[in-house]
């Protein structure tokens, strides 16, 4: 199968930086989808559905491409969803609730062949164990890194690592927003090998 251009269905600079690590040329485009969870939708299917919808939303525009979609859902042990906080107060509340807890991250991944309509998906789970954080630590972190556009209110690739006591999962890149180990597998299945192309 001849290789076709890759498109990353995301405006996230974090995902763009991760995909660039594979050394493949790609375009980026921002899909417009409704990210509202369906009633009773569990985190893993939600993350996978949103990743797939993001990729499929770009298929009419990029009709002979391989389109990568990804989306992340974070939950507290009681099932509460942790969204992108958007502001300081929400981020502070999220970190207070995460303090001393294990937070589950589900990163959905979809690779869509827009020429054939083939869709391959994967969901990567990664658990983060937060230290017991003091109020000054939370405030200090938020002022230093302002992670208001990140699910869970932290940037794992930056100072956010200081919030944790332990990480448990296969691919830490999934915490940043794109599970590269799984993506490499899906790309190979579609005829693209970053080590050979």
| pLDDT tens digits, one per residue of 120-151 | 999 999 999 999 999 999 999 999 999 998 88
The per-residue pLDDT for 174 is: 94
> What pLDDT, in 10s, does the model give residues 34-88?
989 999 899 999 999 999 999 999 999 999 999 999 999 999 988 889 988 999 9
Residue 108 — very low, low, confident or very high, per pLDDT cuts 50/70/90?
very high
The per-residue pLDDT for 151 is: 86
Q: Residue 82: inside a domain, yes or no?
A: yes
| pLDDT averaged over every residue in the chain | 94
Residue 168 — very low, low, confident or very high, per pLDDT cuts 50/70/90?
very high
The per-residue pLDDT for 1 is: 41
SS3 string of the chain? CCCCCEEEECCCHHHHHHHHCCCCCEEEECCCCCCCCCCCCCHHHHHHHHHHHHHHHHCCCCCCCEEEEEEEEEECCCCCEECCCCCHHHHHHHHHHHCCCEEEEEEEEEEEECCCCEEEEEEEEEEEEECCCCHHHHHHHHHHHCCCCCCCCCCCCCHHHHHEEEEEECCCHHHHCCCHHHHHHHHHHCCCCCCCC
Active-site choice (5, 32, 34, 71): 71
The per-residue pLDDT for 107 is: 96
As for how many domains the chain has, the answer is 1
Domain residue limits at 47:
6-189
Q: Residue 196: inside a domain, yes or no?
A: no
Is 71 among the residues known to form the active site?
Answer: yes
CATH number at 161 reads 3.90.950.10
Q: Residue 194: inside a domain, yes or no?
A: no
The per-residue pLDDT for 3 is: 55
Q: At residue 2, does pLDDT exceed 60?
A: no
Q: Residue 153: inside a domain, yes or no?
A: yes
Q: Residue 17: inside a domain, yes or no?
A: yes
Whole-number percent of the chain with pLDDT over 90? 84
Q: At residue 177, does pLDDT exceed 50?
A: yes
The per-residue pLDDT for 195 is: 94
Residue 197 — very low, low, confident or very high, per pLDDT cuts 50/70/90?
confident
Q: Residue 195: inside a domain, yes or no?
A: no
pTM of the entire structure? Answer: 0.91
Q: Residue 183: inside a domain, yes or no?
A: yes
């Amino acid at each position: 199968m001849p290789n076709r251009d890759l498109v990353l269905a995301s405006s996230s600079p974090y995902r763009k930086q991760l995909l660039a690590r594979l050394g493949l040329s790609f375009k980026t485009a921002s899909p417009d989808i409704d990210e509202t969870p369906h009633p009773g939708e569990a985190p893993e299917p939600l993350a996978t559905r949103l990743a797939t919808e993001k990729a499929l939303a770009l298929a009419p525009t990029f009709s002979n491409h391989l389109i990568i979609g990804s989306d992340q859902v974070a939950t507290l042990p009681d099932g509460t969803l942790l969204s992108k906080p958007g502001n300081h107060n929400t981020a502070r509340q999220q970190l207070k609730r995460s303090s001393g807890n294990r937070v589950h991250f589900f990163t959905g991944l979809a690779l869509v062949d827009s020429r054939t309509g083939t869709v391959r998906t994967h969901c990567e789970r990664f658990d983060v164990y937060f230290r017991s954080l003091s109020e000054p630590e939370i405030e200090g972190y938020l002022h230093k890194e302002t992670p208001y556009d990140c699910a869970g209110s932290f940037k794992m690739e930056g100072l956010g690592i200081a919030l944790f006591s332990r990480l448990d999962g296969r691919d830490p890149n999934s915490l940043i927003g794109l599970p590269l180990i799984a993506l490499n597998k899906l790309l190979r299945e579609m005829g693209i090998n970053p080590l050979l192309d």
